[in-house]
Amino acid sequence: EKEVSITKFPADERKIIAKAHDKYKKARAGIINTRHGQIHTPAFMPVGTKGTVKAMLPESVQTTGADIILGNTYHLMLQPGAKRVFKLGGLHKFMNWSKPLLTDSGGFQVMSLSKLRKITEEGVIFNSHIDGSKFMLSPESSTEIQYLLGSTITMAFDECTPYPSTYEQAKSSMELTSRWAKRSRKAFYSRDGYGQFGIIQGSIYNDLRLKSALDLIELDFEGYAIGGLAVGEGQELMFKVLDYAPDLLPINKPRYLMGVGKPADIIGAVQRGIDMFDCVIPTRSGRNGQAFTKYGVVNIRNSKYKEDNTPLEEDCLCPACKNYTKAYLHYLVKVKEILGAMLMTWHNLMYFQKLMLRIREYIAQGKDFDFIS
Ligand SMILES: CNc1nc2c(CC[C@H]3O[C@@H](OC)[C@H](OC)[C@@H]3O)c3nc(N)[nH]c(=O)c3cc2[nH]1
Ligand SMILES: [Zn+2]
């Protein structure tokens, strides 16, 4: 049993008991202590981009076992505006979520959502995808916005290198991210129980990933994210990067793989040393009628369920499984009733949290867990 204690997450300790398995010696389970409560890792963070986990009440999200959810700088700065959220008491109060909040720094959304944008050394100038008005996101403004939102974990402002990229493209993009990380770190207002994570880039090139890690480790972030993955490279290439990238990061700090993923992706990444995940799959696919179950993914819109009087999963404790049948869910989703989106989302979030709970238990007991899914 290897006791590895995390360095200070400002005023708090993150205790991590990393049981060295033979096959999964990199898998680890632990607790991150923050100003807004504890995060049990490996952790799945439901995505609440616009200050709400779509189709869920925050108290319902809490019953699924989620310790932390995600918000987004890009969306919230456009509407309702960071200063307004600050004036109204911050995002925790605004959305009635008192546990930890992680906000992404906005770079990824600017590139994927906004029209007309210009990347300069200073930052990214773009027109809002809502009304076309002009905005600038920079390391300083992104960090300030996240402070105004009151987020527990602030992400450095980075450039998510697209896939595929040539070595030269990935190199200059990674170097820009390193310069922006330095400015993000300088702009961060360090407080007890709050933290800022750096995001390493470098695409699929191991020397660039190493250089990115070295640049960011110098800035002594409270945690580190592996960016530039789950951008179309596929699971095989992603795992190839994860075979070495987590080891470039400090073993005693949280490691967050952005935008991942399906249960099999999460299991493979935990086995390679990742602690934190975020993904829209359980919420977005739930709304589209896909339910994750131990029998595999159920497309509830399939007509074979229209008179199926059994629950999605007979032993699941979520309201969809306790009180309703597949036939009812099939009907609700077909006729686009709001309750359909709510129940499917609730079940999927419960499924993902149960998966994480079982992974944490298997690690704590020193058991192998590659067959869970
Ligand atoms: C899906 N794959 C993927 N997502 C990614 C995100 C979050 C997207 C963000 O967008 C929202 O989900 C749609 C979430 O925001 C609440 C998420 O954090 C990334 N964010 C940053 N800053 N840098 C990256 O390199 C990056 C890479 C990703 N790969
Ligand atoms: Zn259920």
Average pLDDT on 123-140 reads 94
List the residue whose alpha carbon is closest to atom 4 of ligand 1.
259
Nearest ligand atom owner, CA of 201: 1
Q: What is the DSSP string of 292-347?
A: EETTEEEETTSGGGTT--S-S-TT--SHHHHH--HHHHHHHHHTT-HHHHHHHHHH
Q: What is the enclosing helix (H) or strand (E) of 142?
A: helix 139-149
Residue 117 has a pLDDT of 87
Q: Does residue 3 register a pLDDT over 50?
A: no
Looking only at the bridges linking them, the beta strands covering 296-299 and 290-293 are antiparallel
What pTM value is reported for the model?
0.94
Least confident span in 17-21, 80-84, 143-147: 17-21
Least confident span in 81-85, 121-125, 335-339, 363-367: 363-367
Which residues are annotated as catalytic?
Answer: 104, 278
Would you place residue 350 in the very low, low, confident or very high pLDDT band (cuts 50, 70, 90)? very high
List the residue whose alpha carbon is closest to atom 21 of ligand 1.
108
Would you place residue 111 in the very low, low, confident or very high pLDDT band (cuts 50, 70, 90)? confident
Q: Does residue 371 register a pLDDT over 70?
A: no
Q: Does residue 6 register a pLDDT over 50?
A: no
Exposure pattern of 129-166 as b/e (b: 16+ CB <10 Å)? beeeeebebbbbbbbbbbbbbbbbbbbbbbbbbebebe
Length of the chain equals 373
Q: Does residue 23 register a pLDDT over 90?
A: no
Give SS3 for 41: strand
**What single letter denotes the amino acid at residue 141?**
S
217-228: pLDDT as tens digits = 999 999 999 999
Q: Does residue 186 register a pLDDT over 50?
A: yes
Q: Does residue 19 register a pLDDT over 90?
A: no
Share of the chain above pLDDT 70, in %: 92
Q: Does residue 15 register a pLDDT over 70?
A: no
251-289: pLDDT as tens digits = 999 999 999 999 999 999 999 999 999 999 999 999 999
Arithmetic mean of pLDDT over the chain:
92
Tokens 């369920």 correspond to 305
Q: What is the distance between the terminal CA atoms of the chain, rounded to a whole angstrom?
A: 26
Average pLDDT on 358-366 reads 90
Cα radius of gyration rounded to whole Å, the chain: 20
Tokens 């050394």 correspond to 121
Residue 25 has a pLDDT of 78
Q: What is the ipTM of this complex?
A: 0.97
Q: Does residue 123 register a pLDDT over 90?
A: yes
C-alpha 120/C-alpha 245 separation (Å) is 28
Ligand 2 centroid distance, CA of 296 (Å): 13
Residue 21's φ and ψ, nearest 5 degrees, are: -85, 165
Q: What is the enclosing helix (H) or strand (E) of 154?
A: strand 153-155
Q: Provide the 10 A C-beta neighbour count for residue 22.
A: 7
Average pLDDT on 157-164 reads 97
Q: Does residue 197 register a pLDDT over 50?
A: yes
Average pLDDT on 163-167 reads 97
Residue 365 has a pLDDT of 87
Tokens 């944490």 correspond to 360
Residue 116 has a pLDDT of 75
Alpha-carbon torsion, ordered 308, 313, 314, 319, to 10 deg:
-90
Least confident span in 5-9, 164-168, 250-254, 318-322: 5-9
- The token pair at 59 is 């108290």
Residue 114 has a pLDDT of 75
Q: Does residue 249 register a pLDDT over 90?
A: yes
Ligand 2 centroid distance, CA of 344 (Å): 8
Nearby residues for ligand 2 (ion, Cβ within 5 Å) = 316, 318, 320-321, 347
Residue 229's φ and ψ, nearest 5 degrees, are: -120, 170
From 76, 103, 258, the mutation candidate for ligand 1 (largest count of ligand atoms within 8 A of CB) is 258
- According to DSSP, residue 369 is labeled -
Alpha-carbon torsion, ordered 352, 353, 357, 359, to 10 deg:
20
Cβ atoms of residues 153 and 102 within 8 Å? yes
Q: Chain-centre distance of CA 208, in angstroms?
A: 23
List the residue whose alpha carbon is closest to atom 24 of ligand 1.
227
Average pLDDT on 205-233 reads 98
Residue 17 has a pLDDT of 39
Ligand 2 centroid distance, CA of 326 (Å): 11
